[in-house]
Amino acid sequence: MKKFIKAPLLSTSFSENKNTAKKRLVNIFYVQTKKTGLLALALVLLLVSAGGGLIACHRDSDAADGADDAPSLAERLYPYKDTLVGDNSQVVNLLDELPLEGFTRGDVELSTDAPPYSLTVHYLTADRAAIRAEIDAIIMRDDLTKNGAILLSLIPNADVIICLDDAYGEITRSYYSRDNYSDYLGTDQINAEVIARAADGQESFEAFIRLIQELPPIEPIPDPEYAQAIRAVIGADRQVITNSGASFSFIVEEPAIFNGLDGQAFAQLREIDFQPYLGQRLTVRLFGVENYKTKERTSYVFVFYGEELLAYQDLLTAENDRLIAGVLLPLENGGGR
């Protein structure tokens, strides 16, 4: 059964192949459970029992300042141990103890039809354009990752999906599973076994929270350098469609590459003088582009010399996209889709 919990009334890609897109935008990993994390957890337990304080990863001002009168994040969350994904109120209360900085919690979906069960949480932003410009930093941010690990430790029967949305729909989503956490964090310290035992007791949960908080920051995967030039062309209301890209790299051997293409959609391409680039390598990139407000779609072609944008053209139709590809494939010399 799938339950849909509405948000409280008062309450946020330039890949050219599917593998890269999946790595950048969908957090699905391949991992082997390792014992290193348990050793790390045991070490932190010793520190806690010796008087080491909990470093809360809740981002409100009291937690950040370590105020003595504010309950620790672990103390607030531990009562939610063994929450089941079908327990609506318990799940929502837990989520509201884990706010995502810069976002408001939206709707929550509980999928309990058949294993693997899942918890899908939507977080809302009012500024999609700002997120688009820093999409990897948003997706890979520490709060998001740490929240996912904590939710998995307290909700034993479900994977977690976190979506970033705005008023126009979903921007992106991240998948969190116990079996893939080690690779995602880039460390052996957090793995399926560590997550499963994290809430065995109050002390072990405090140690788990501290371990998460002390992990080094995740390095975001930067957008390629040409992305900024493309964003400047398509504008703030449009975005590149995930997995829509193709690139063709070739040595220029004659100056009239696009002269055989008729129609207004190719007018700017026909005007390019390739004479200065004879013997040089150019890269032509094709991308699907969507206006996220109106949902209108088109295709664009961009011609680059290194990172310099020489020309671009709105191709208007997918058929024109295919015509461009038909011209470029024979020219391709060492690059490709």
Q: Over range 222-242, report the average pLDDT.
A: 86
Regarding whether 126 and 42 lie in a shared domain, the answer is: yes
Answer with the one of 154, 178, 213 that is the final residue of a domain. Answer: 213
**Residue 10 contacts by C-beta under 8 Å, 6 or more apart in sequence?**
none
Regarding whether 141 and 281 lie in a shared domain, the answer is: no
- Please indicate, yes or no, if residue 184 is contained in any of the structural domains: yes
pLDDT tens readout for residues 300-333: 999 999 999 999 999 988 889 889 988 898 888 5
Regarding whether 235 and 176 lie in a shared domain, the answer is: no
Judge whether 206 and 74 are in contact, CB under 8 Å: yes
Regarding whether 184 and 274 lie in a shared domain, the answer is: no
pLDDT tens readout for residues 76-100: 999 999 999 889 899 999 999 887 7
* pLDDT confidence of residue 184: 67
For 213, list phi and psi in degrees, rounded to 5.
-65, -30
Regarding whether 294 and 173 lie in a shared domain, the answer is: no
Regarding whether 120 and 186 lie in a shared domain, the answer is: yes
Take residue 216 and report the two structure tokens written for it. 């080094």
Rounded-to-integer distance, Cα 321 and Cα 300, Å: 8
Regarding whether 198 and 231 lie in a shared domain, the answer is: no
- Please indicate, yes or no, if residue 218 is contained in any of the structural domains: no
Q: Over range 201-215, report the average pLDDT.
A: 89
Answer with the one of 166, 186, 213 that is the final residue of a domain. Answer: 213
Percentage with pLDDT > 70 across the chain: 71
Regarding whether 311 and 240 lie in a shared domain, the answer is: yes
12: nearest Cα among 95, 121, 128: 128
Mean pLDDT over the full length of the chain: 75
Q: How far is CA 267 from CA 170, 222, 231, in A?
A: 35, 33, 21
* pLDDT confidence of residue 318: 81
- Please indicate, yes or no, if residue 221 is contained in any of the structural domains: no
- Please indicate, yes or no, if residue 116 is contained in any of the structural domains: yes
In this predicted structure, the answer to whether residue 27 has a pLDDT above a threshold of 60 is no
Residue 176 burial class via C-beta count within 10 angstroms: exposed 0-12, middle 13-18, buried 19 and up: buried
- Please indicate, yes or no, if residue 144 is contained in any of the structural domains: yes
Rounded-to-integer distance, Cα 153 and Cα 5, Å: 22
Q: Which domain holds residue 39?
A: 2-213
**Residue 90 contacts by C-beta under 8 Å, 6 or more apart in sequence?**
80, 83, 84
pLDDT tens readout for residues 102-145: 788 999 999 988 888 999 999 998 877 766 655 545 555 667 77
Answer with the one of 190, 213, 236 that is the final residue of a domain. Answer: 213
Regarding whether 257 and 133 lie in a shared domain, the answer is: no
Q: Over range 185-213, report the average pLDDT.
A: 88
Regarding whether 56 and 20 lie in a shared domain, the answer is: yes
- Please indicate, yes or no, if residue 336 is contained in any of the structural domains: no
- Please indicate, yes or no, if residue 219 is contained in any of the structural domains: no
Regarding whether 194 and 88 lie in a shared domain, the answer is: yes
- Please indicate, yes or no, if residue 337 is contained in any of the structural domains: no
Given pLDDT bands bounded at 50, 70 and 90, which one contains residue 254?
Answer: confident
* pLDDT confidence of residue 196: 92
In this predicted structure, the answer to whether residue 67 has a pLDDT above a threshold of 50 is no
Q: CB 234: neighbour CB atoms within 10 A? A: 19
In this predicted structure, the answer to whether residue 18 has a pLDDT above a threshold of 50 is no
* pLDDT confidence of residue 126: 83
How many domains is the chain partitioned into structurally? 2
Residue type, 229: A
Regarding whether 231 and 197 lie in a shared domain, the answer is: no
